[in-house]
């Protein structure tokens, strides 16, 4: 699942955190499936608590993903508005960034 998004400072860390959280949820679900045949009062109680926590975690993860997507859309909209209002500044910024990236690339060779 590959999606393109505008990177906002701090958002990359949040996206990585959400990705790691998804992995933990998937691992916990797999553990629950693997222990489904095990009997015992303590195991059953632990499984029930884990399932409840997983449901809550999935809800929070979905909300966090929606918030990140909304912030990315806001940033993209703000950038679009800025570029339309200040086209020559945007061109200048693009040229400056390109120049810096070009200098860094040529330095490493």
pLDDT tens, position by position, 63-109:
888 888 899 999 999 989 988 998 999 899 999 999 999 999 988 76
Residue 84 lies in a domain: yes
Tell me, what's the pLDDT at 4? 42
Q: What is the mean pLDDT of the chain?
A: 80
C-alpha span between 17 and 10 (Å, rounded): 11
Q: Number of structural domains, the chain?
A: 1
C-alpha span between 12 and 103 (Å, rounded): 25
Torsions phi, psi of 74, nearest 5?
A: -60, -45
Residue 74 lies in a domain: yes
Residue 56 lies in a domain: yes
Residue 69 lies in a domain: yes
Residue 40 lies in a domain: yes
> Structural domain of residue 58, as residue ranges?
11-107
Q: What angle do CA 65, 22, 66 make, to 5 degrees?
A: 5
DSSP symbol at 41:
H
């Amino acid at each position: 699942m590959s999606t393109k998004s505008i990177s906002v400072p701090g958002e990359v860390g949040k996206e990585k955190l959400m990705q790691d959280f998804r992995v933990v949820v998937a691992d916990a679900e797999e553990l629950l499936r693997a222990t489904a045949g095990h009997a015992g009062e303590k195991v059953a109680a632990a499984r029930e608590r884990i399932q409840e926590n997983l449901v809550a975690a999935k809800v929070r993860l979905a909300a966090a993903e929606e918030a990140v997507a909304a912030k990315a859309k806001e940033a993209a909209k703000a950038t679009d508005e800025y570029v339309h209002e200040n086209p020559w500044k945007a061109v200048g910024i693009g040229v400056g960034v390109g120049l810096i990236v070009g200098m860094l690339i040529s330095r490493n060779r």
